[in-house]
Amino acid sequence: MSTEFRVYLSAPMNLPSRRAGITITGFWRLYEIHKMIAAGTYPNCPQIAKAIEVNTRTAERDIGRLRDLFGAPIEFDRTRRGYYYTEPFEMPPVRLGEGEAIALFLGQRLLSQCRGTPFEEFVQQAMEKIQVLLPRSVVVDVQRTLGTVSFQVEPLRGEELEVAERYELLVKAAVERKSVFMEYYTASSGKVSERLIDPYHLRMADGAWYCIAYCHERKSVRTFALDRIIHLEITGESFEIPSDFSVEDYLADSLFIERGEPREVVIEFDATQAAYIRGREWHKSQKLTELKDGGLRMTMTIGGLGELKRWIMSMGRHAWVVEPPELRDKIREELAAALENYQVAE
Identify the CATH number of the domain in which residue 14 sits.
Answer: 1.10.10.10
- Whether residue 71 is found in the same domain as residue 131: no
DSSP 8-state symbol, 3: -
Q: Residue 260 — φ and ψ, nearest 5°?
A: 180, -175
The verdict on 46 and 13 lying in the same domain is yes
Distance in angstroms (rounded) separating the CA atoms of residues 244 and 2: 24
**pLDDT exceeds cutoff 50 at 13:** no
Question: Mean pLDDT, to the nearest integer, of 320-345?
Answer: 88
Poorest-pLDDT segment among 49-58, 153-162, 196-205: 153-162
Same domain, 300 and 245: no
Beta bridge partners of 191: 186
Q: Which pLDDT value is given to residue 168?
A: 84
225 and 268 assigned to the same domain: no
Domain that holds residue 281: 263-341
How far apart (Å, rounded) are the C-alpha atoms in residues 68 and 148? 44
Is 272 inside any structural domain? yes
In tens, the pLDDT along 34-45 reads 989 999 999 999
Q: What is the pLDDT of residue 118?
A: 54
Quick check: helix, strand or coil at residue 193? strand
- 240-269 pLDDT per residue, tens: 999 999 998 898 888 888 888 899 999 999
Among candidate residues 12, 16, 9, 4, the one with its CA nearest the CA of residue 30: 9
Q: State residue 184's pLDDT score.
A: 94
Of the listed ranges 11-25, 141-155, 196-210, 332-346, the one predicted with least confidence: 11-25
- The type of residue at 301 is T
Bridge partner residues of 23 (DSSP): 6
- pTM for the full model? 0.59
Same domain, 140 and 176: no
Range list of H helices, 195-282: 247-250, 271-278
pLDDT in tens, 120-146: 666 666 666 666 555 555 554 555 555
70 & 107 share domain: no
Residue 183 bridge partners (DSSP): 194, 231
Q: Is the pLDDT of residue 98 over 60?
A: no
**Per-residue pLDDT at 74:** 94
Q: Residue 20's pLDDT is what?
A: 42
In a domain, 1, yes or no: no
Q: How many domains does the chain have?
A: 4
118: in domain: yes
Tell me, yes or no, whether 246 and 274 share the same domain. Answer: no
